[in-house]
Structure 1
C-alpha cells in the first residue's frame, strides 16, 4: 500500500486545522492586552483537537502494530518536547508538561486501551476529566508554571515537575490525556473510511448540548474548582481559556471536538491542500513556527517600528506571514518526500512520513 493510500485525508485536514488554530495562539504573548474573546475561544480548541486526533489514530492503526511501535513513536515525540524546552525555551525539560509530552504518553496509553469497550473508554474519560478540578480544589492552581532556566543551574527541587504533570503544568495528564481518550471514543463510533457515523444525529444533538452546558458552566460555575471565564488566567501572555481547564471548558471543548470530527470526516483534499500539508507535517510545523516566533518575530517587529506589543492588525499580519512560511515549508517537504522517503524512524516521525 502506498503512503498516500495509508493516510486518511480528512484526519490530515483536521490536524491541519489544529495547527492553524495553534499558530495564532502561540503568538498571543506578543499581542497587546486585552486579547479579543474570539481569539481566546479559537485558540482553546487547538490542543483538544491534537490530542483527540492522536487517540483516534492509535485505535485506527493498533491492529497493525504492537506496543513497542507506539512506545518508540511516543518516545520520539517526548524527545521533541525535550528539544523544544532545551533548544527554544532554554529551560530544563519535563517540568512544564508541554503538549508534546502529553501526546508522547498518550500514544502507548491509548494502545493499551485498544480493546476497551465504548463504555470503558467513557469511564476513563470521566475519571481523567474529574480528577483535574478535584486536584485543583485540593492543591490549588499556580498562575505561572515553574520553568527552571538552564542558565540558572540545576533546580534545587524537582517536586514542582511532578505537580505540574498532574495539576498546573501547561498540559497536565489530568485532564488533557482525557482528550486522547475522547479520540478513542470517536474511533469506536466511526470507521475512518466510512462517511457515516453511528447515530450521527444523536451525536450532533448531544455534542451541541455539551457545548451549551459547558458555556453555561463557564459563565455560572457550579462545579469544584470552577471559576467564571473572566477569572481564567492569562498565562505568560497565552490567553486560551484553559488556565485552569475548568469543568465548563472540558464539557464545551468535548462537544466542539465531536462536531469538528463529524464535519471534517465528510471533506476531501480538494480546495484544502494547504491545510492537508500542515496536518501531514504537523510535528515539524509545531516546532518550526515556535522557532520563527521566538527568534524572528521580535527583531522583525522592531525593525518595522512596532511597539513592545503588537496591535491587533499587526498581530494578524505577523500571524499570516508565519502561517504562509509554514505552509510553504510544508509544501516543500511534501515535494521532497515524493523523491525521497526517509528510513530513519526519528526523521519519519518528525517530518510526518
Structure 2
C-alpha cells in the first residue's frame, strides 16, 4: 500500500504538470491567434485559464524544489538549483528573441530566490508570500505600471536595457518576481505537507475550491464599491493577472491547490486505467514541450497564416491537436530515453 501511495503521489504531480501545460498552450495559442476578447463559453474558459495555468506551473516547480531539498543534501540542492537557474536564464533570453511572453527567464529567478529560501521555516515562508503581495500593491501605487510597455502590440521595447530588464523582471513584466515568487514559495510550503495522504489531498481540493470561490466573491463585491470612489484603484481588488494583485495571488494559489489535490487523488485510479502511462511522459517533459509549443506550434501556425484573426474554436482545435501530438511524441520518446531532450541537456550542463 505504501509503495502504491508513493507512485500515486509522484505520478499525480506529473499529471498536474501536463494539465498546467495544456492550459498554458490554450492561453498562448489564443493570444497569438487573436482569439481573445470574443464572447462565448470557450472565451470564458480562456479567461479563466489566463494566469492560472502558469501560476499552477510555478507552484508545481516549488513543490519539486521543496521535495528535492528534503531528499538530498540541502547545500548541494541549492548549488544545483543555482546552475539550473543560470541555464533557464540563458534559454529564456534566447526564447525572448522570438516570444515576448517567455516565462523561463522569470523561472530562473524564482528558482534562485526559492533555493536561497529553502532553509526558511514554513510559517516564515507564509509571511514572505504576504510581504510579496503587499509589496506588489505598494509598487503599483507608487510606480508607473505602464512604463516600458507598448500596449498596442504587447511588446516591451526597453526589455534589453538594464533599467527596463530589472523593471520588467520585478515589477511590470508578464510574470514579475514580485509577487510571482509567492507561487514558488507556496509550492515549497506544500512540499512539506503529507501530499501522499488522502486527507491532505482532500484539503487541497476542497480548501482550494472554497478559497477560490471566496476570493472571487469578495473581489466582485469590492470592485463596484471602489469604482464609485476611485475607479483607478479597482485593479487592486481584481483577480486578473495584470497587474498581479493579492486577490490574483490567492486565486492562483487556490487553483493550483485544487489541481494538485485532484491529480494526486485521482492518480491511483488513472494509473489502473492506463491513463497515466500514456499522459505522464508529457508531464515529465514540460520544458521541452514549452519550447516546442513556441518554436514548432506557433511556427507552423505562422506558415499556415493562422496568427491573428482566428476564432476561439480554431484556437482550441489547434491547442487540442498540438497537445495530442505532444502526448504521442512524449510517450514514444519515453520508450527510449529517460528524460526529454531539453531536460537531458539541462541535466548534463547544470547537473
TM-score, structure 1 length as denominator? 0.78
State the partner residue of 1:115.
Answer: 119
State the 1:179 CA deviation: 0.1
Deviation per residue, 1:17-39 (Å, 9 max, x gap): 11010111111121334241221
Tell me what 2:59 maps to.
52
Cα contact 1:78–1:100 (8 A) shared by 2? yes
TM alignment of 1:274-293, pairs within 5 A: 274-293=278-297
Q: Give how far 1:40 is off.
A: 1.1
Name which of structure 1's ranges 325-334 and 21-30 shifts more when overlaid on structure 2. Answer: 325-334
Unaligned runs of 5+ in 1: 233-240
Give the aligned partner of residue 3 of structure 2.
Answer: none
Partner of 1:296: 300
Q: What displacement does 1:280 show?
A: 0.2
Q: Distance in 2 between matches of 1:70 and 1:187?
A: 16
CA distance in 2: counterparts of 1:81 and 1:184, whole angstroms: 23
1:78 to 78, 84, 89: 89
Determine the C-alpha separation between the residues in 2 that align with 1:319 and 1:346: 26
Are the aligned partners of 1:52 and 1:183 in contact in 2 as well (CA < 8 Å)? yes
Secondary structure, counterpart of 2:200 in structure 1: coil
- Equivalent in the alignment of 1:324: 324
Structure 2 match to 1:255: 254
**In 1, Cα distance between equivalents of 2:342 and 2:325:** 26
Query: Within 2, Cα distance between the matches of 1:341 and 1:23?
Result: 18
| Residue of structure 1 in register with 2:26 after alignment | 24
Q: How do 1:108-187 residues align onto structure 2 when only pairs under 5 Å count?
A: 108-142=112-146, 144=151, 147-148=156-157, 157-187=161-191
* TM-score relative to the length of structure 2: 0.79
Distance 2:51 2:322 in 1: 19
SS at match of 2:119: coil
Deviation digits for residues 110-161 of structure 1, max 9, x if unmatched? 2322232221110011111221122111113226465349xxxx96x43121
Question: Structure 2: any 5+ residue segments left out of the alignment?
Answer: 1-5
Alignment partner, residue 45 of structure 2 = 38
Change (3 A) 1:60 1:215: same
Measured in 1, the distance between the counterparts of 2:238 and 2:196 equals: 43
The more displaced of 15-24 and 261-270 is 261-270
RMSD (Å), alpha carbons: 3.5
Deviation at 1:274, TM superposition (A): 4.1
Structure holding more helix per residue: 2
